[in-house]
Amino acid sequence: MPEKTPDTRIKTLGPCKLESPLPYRTWEDDAVSKIFVDKDFDQSIKPQIIDFEPAGPRKRLYFDPTRAKCAIVTCGGLCPGINDVIRAIVMEAHHAYHVPGVIGIPYGLEGFIPKYHHDLIELTPQRVSNIHLFGGTMLGSSRGPQAPEEIVDTLERCNVNALFIIGGDGTMKAALKISEEVQKRRLKISVIGIPKTIDNDINFIPQSFGFETAVYKATEAIACAHTEASGAANGIGLVKLMGRESGFIAALATLALKEVNFVLIPEAPFELEGENGLLPALEERLMARGHAVIVTAEGAGQHLMQNDARTDASGNRILGDIGDLLRAKIKNYLSERNIRHTIKYIDPSYIIRSVPANAGDKVYCGFLGQYAVHAAMAGRTDMVIAKLQDRYVHLPLQLVTRSRRRLNIYSDLWRAVLESTGQGCLAGMLPPE
């Protein structure tokens, strides 16, 4: 049964008693953002207007910024724009609030744990001045959980007042545990999350930073696959894109280029053979046009493979290789019917996630970093910065970690994909009535 209204209240460390040093005349202290949300935000809620606390500078602060100390950590897989967020946080803290110290935690949550012997990094405006020109993260990253007790021990030893955690769904869950440990010890440490995921699958956040860049780079791979396919008799271009549980990159890249004939996503369980199967539809496409392009998310078709229960360091299940499965099945199916063909398989996953952010994502990352510092100085905690319908707001960590966001196959987005590819006749593509 849909939840009536999600709890969007934001925790604070205490009353704000200090005047902000910022010279602005507009403040967000008592403002409220009213935003209409529906099942495309979170499929467990009913459509409604919800109040959110807006992001932005506050006239009164909790921390004395001239005595504050901040820390930044990046976790999980790479994503375009991480360096831009780091740079924005450092520049805002230093130039706007005159924070005397910002430290970088190397190699993800490992950097907090003494046994790994990672040295902390002093982040100054000079040190981060050019990092936005490069992909990846200057701090390094890692996967896997670490004990929140040891993490908070390090925060205490380093006299950190505000921790900025950049990462995906698993990282935001870790941030929640860190915040709980902070509260258990009655410490005054602000924990602010900046959601990052190449898959765009963080709950309640319509688009995460780096996603726009990822879609653009994915279209380049699809264009190459189309060129390869159309240059051979019965040529098939097969492109595997990132998307463990959500098919957003595959869907948006397909709509952007419109050279794709079949797109496969985790949310729409397709069939290979039989009536309305992918392989008969591919054969029909080749007979009619002489070439085809297939785009698949990495998490698509897992129901067709025998997978064990193994998980990676982040607790994600280890996926079967949908690309290898499709190549083998297509080859066998067409060969059995004496249909000459060629398959060109392209997997650009690590290229897509490792490139620098494009202009749109750079602007987005800049806002996220600035708003994260505003929130921390005002004593907000247990929250993330999010962009909802062109407005930046504060969201509770509990809200964004309660489930993974998935592509809604009842949505206009999926309908547009089916119209673009013409694959609506395939089994599993249409939602049940």
Is residue 199 flagged as an active site residue?
yes
- SS3 for the chain is CCECCCCCCCEECCCCCEECCCCCCCCCCCCCEEEEECCCCCCCECCEEEEEEECCCCCEECCCHHHCEEEEEECCCCCCCHHHHHHHHHHHHHHHCCCCEEEEECCHHHHHCHHHCCCCEECCHHHHCCHHHCCCCCCCCCCCCCCHHHHHHHHHHCCCCEEEEEECHHHHHHHHHHHHHHHHCCCCCEEEEEEECCCCCECCCCCCECHHHHHHHHHHHHHHHHHHHHCCCCEEEEEEECCCCCCHHHHHHHHHHCCCCEEECCCCCCCCCCCCCHHHHHHHHHHHHCEEEEEEECCCCHHHCCCCCCECCCCCECCCCHHHHHHHHHHHHHHHCCCCCEEEEECCHHHHHHCCCCHHHHHHHHHHHHHHHHHHHCCEECEEEEEECCEEEEEEHHHHCCCECCCCCCCHHHHHHHHHHCCCCCCCCCCCC
Query: Could you give the CA distance from residue 216 to residue 131 in angstroms, rounded to a whole number?
Result: 21
Query: Could you give the CA distance from residue 238 to residue 294 in angstroms, rounded to a whole number?
Result: 5
What residue type is 291 in one-letter code? H
Query: Running DSSP on this structure, what letter comes out for residue 356?
Result: P
Distances from the Cα of 2 to the Cαs of 5, 45, 161, 172, 414, in angstroms? Answer: 9, 5, 38, 24, 22
Choose the catalytic residue: 169, 199, 361, 382: 199
**Residues catalogued as catalytic:** 199
